[in-house]
Chain A
Amino acid sequence: MTALAQNTTKTTATVSPPTKAPRRRRAWLFTIAAGIIALVVNVPLLNAVLVSFKPDGEIAKNPISLPTSPTLDHYANVLYASGYDFPRFFANSAMIAVGTVLLVLIIAIPATYAIVRLNFGGRWIISSASGLRLLPAIFFVVPFFILFSTLGLADTIPGLIAANTFLNLPLAIILLSSALGDIPQEIEEAAAVDGASIYRTLGSIVLPLLAPTMVAVSVLVFIFSWNDYLFALVLSTSDATPVTLGAANFITSTGIRWGDISAASVLSTLPPLLFAVFAQRYLVSGLSSGAVKG
């Protein structure tokens, strides 16, 4: 096999001068293809970026052109000038999303370990956990509302963290359990033989191995809880309002303030984007170790 492989490399090496250039050209073809697809899927967002810099009058007047007299008014409206407390909405969204990520991990990791490795509850729990995500979220809206009012969680950040954790736990458990399935059990057994406790094995051996998946789960959970609208609508009144809900304020009974809502949409996409860029390397490796097995 090795010999054969070397052989082939040699053959390609000998003919390399004529083939190298076309190959590089072919690589650029892929760049172009990927670029076009990336452009197409992002048309709505690009349009929002464009609109967010146009003065009100221009939005209706020149739908496709670049803004002729670009303005930052819409961003000013979003950030401070509209009378809405957007910086606070952003802070709320950030606390909700980060809080949800942490809570999801704290709950999902040990539980998944118990389910997969220690035989706790077995398949039943994984099934029902993933089944929950099937339910229209609306089913839970009213019971949640009543529950939260009794617990004093209505319109609080912890309340929305709990709600989003509820929504995202199934995803985390599914991804973590298959990642855990990929980690060879022998390592843990060896640790146990060496006298390490279960908690120690989990903490110092399993966790590092799970790290990429944890990052991938974090990114997805962050995105989903940042973007939640329905639960936020019912469970927040004013103190815990996140950005998605705040942006809806620009849909008024006298029309939609297109420029303002575009600016709000663009701004609200930035945090998940930054998080994803930051974690990109782990996003793929985390999901791949989790999702694939031979």
Chain B
Amino acid sequence: MPSTVVERPRSTATERRKRTTAALILSLPLILFAAVFVIYPLASGALTAFQSSTLLDQSNEPNGIDNFISLFRSDGFAKAAGFTVGFSAVVVVIEMVLGFALALLMNRAFPGKKLFFTLLLLPIMVAPALLGVMFRLLLNGDIGALPALLDSVGLSVSLFSPDSVIPLLVVLDVLQWTPFTFLIIYAGLQSFPKELLEASAMDGAGYVRSLTSVIVPVLKPVLFAAFFLRAIDAIRTFDVIYVLTAGGPGTSTTTLSIYIYKTAFESGDFGKAAAAALVVLVCLIPFVPFIVRRISSTGMEAKK
């Protein structure tokens, strides 16, 4: 007994040193990769934001905050930010609700489940850039299958008119990404303690009540993970909208990514594009730790 008491502190000290070395060695690939492919581009991108870097003026002279001034002087950036936030909020909420509902629907045994499960995930596997082109054909008023189908049952629609184009984009995003929220939430439901569900069902709680009072609270971290992973991608939405509307009519469907892309590659103003991206980053950073804490709470606590 006494010997263990004496030995313990020493072993902890060496062990701590060992652990630190191990941590460093294990993290080395990440550190190296981050230094080359993250820190450098980040720094150089941030630097560009304070330089005059256009195709016409490649001097890369520092120009102070000129890029930021020109960014905020026109309302294009603010409008793009507004549209992006609004669009992301709407699609993510719909995708969360539908994904959750779909997960509940699929969370039981029925014939053909395996097949349909795979089919439900299929939309994630289509490249968004190609999907945009597929939509252009499918939804075309003259040669597209969907308008033709609607027409044959006597419905005449004009999907791309200015009034309907934003709802259309929402629907298309929902179609492609509900499968993603579904997958994450479904996976969460799989490891849901069955006894909890049965218990609540048994004491006569209605389905809705057991949903709100049992399933949702327990599933919170999963819902957050799905929400977060989906939200960060929604904020970067680019391909499908760019292919379908190029941000128009006017600028009514311009997302931040489209705005930055156009600033860099159509206007050739890399400095201003970098400034815009930097502003986006700075605005989003405060949210990150909050969300990460929610998702990886257990991972972090286990460490203590």
Contacts and interface: CB of A to CB of B under 8 A. Distances in A.
A116 B111 contact: no
A127 interface: yes
Contact of A34 (B120, B129, B238): B120
A13 interface: no
B220 to A, nearest CB: 10
B288 A130 contact: yes
Contact of A293 (B40, B119, B176, B297): B297
B130 to A, nearest CB: 4
Contacts of A135: 277, 280-281, 284
Nearest to B142: A60
B129 A262 contact: no
A230 interface: yes
A271 to B, nearest CB: 9
A251 B130 CA distance: 11
Contacts of A115: 27
A171 interface: yes
A198 B22 CA distance: 7
A80 interface: no
B130 A126 contact: no
A163 B189 CA distance: 33
Contact of A178 (B264, B277, B296, B303): B296
Interface string A258-283: 10011011001100110011001001
Given A34-B105, A34-B106, A174-B295, A44 B148 contact: no
B125 A269 contact: yes
Contact of B273 (A44, A126, A138): A138
A119 B23 contact: yes
Interface string A93-127: 00000000000001110110111111111110111
Contacts of A127: 288-289, 292
A64 B149 contact: yes
Given A139-B277, A293-B297, A30 B105 contact: yes
Contact of B27 (A34, A121, A132): A121
B145 A50 contact: yes
A294 interface: yes
A146 B40 CA distance: 11
B105 to A, nearest CB: 6
A181 B235 contact: no
Given A136-B280, A140-B41, A143-B45, A126 B23 contact: no
A19 interface: no
B150 to A, nearest CB: 10
A65 to B, nearest CB: 9
Nearest to B146: A43
A54 B242 CA distance: 27
A73 B2 CA distance: 84
A64 B299 CA distance: 51
Interface stretch (B66-74, B155-163, B178-186): B178-186
Interface string A6-29: 001000000000000000000110
Question: SS class of chain A's interface: helix, strand, loop or mixed?
Answer: helix
Contacts of B270: 142
B216 interface: no
Interface residues of A, number: 113
A131 B120 CA distance: 29
B116 A292 contact: no
Most chain B CB inside 10 Å of its own CB: which residue of A41, A51, A116: A41
Contacts of A122: 303
Interface string B114-133: 10111111111111111101
A3 interface: no
Given A139-B281, A287-B184, A120 B27 contact: yes
A144 B41 contact: yes
A48 B235 CA distance: 27
A166 B18 CA distance: 29
B130 A247 contact: yes
B193 A294 contact: yes
A247 B132 CA distance: 12
B33 to A, nearest CB: 6
A292 B170 CA distance: 29
B222 A37 contact: no
A277 B118 contact: yes
B175 interface: yes
A140 B277 CA distance: 9
5 contacts: A33-B105, A42-B119, A63-B145, A165-B37, A262-B137
Which 6 pairs across A and B sit closest by C-beta, in order of nearness? A181-B299, A287-B187, A139-B277, A110-B26, A143-B41, A111-B30
Interface of A: 8, 27-28, 30-31, 33-35, 37-38, 40-45, 47-48, 50-51, 59-60, 63-64, 106-108, 110-111, 113-123, 125-128, 130-144, 146-147, 162-163, 165-166, 169, 171, 174, 177-178, 180-182, 185, 198-199, 202, 216, 223, 226-227, 229-230, 243-244, 247-248, 251, 256, 258, 261-262, 264-265, 268-269, 272-273, 276-277, 280, 283-294
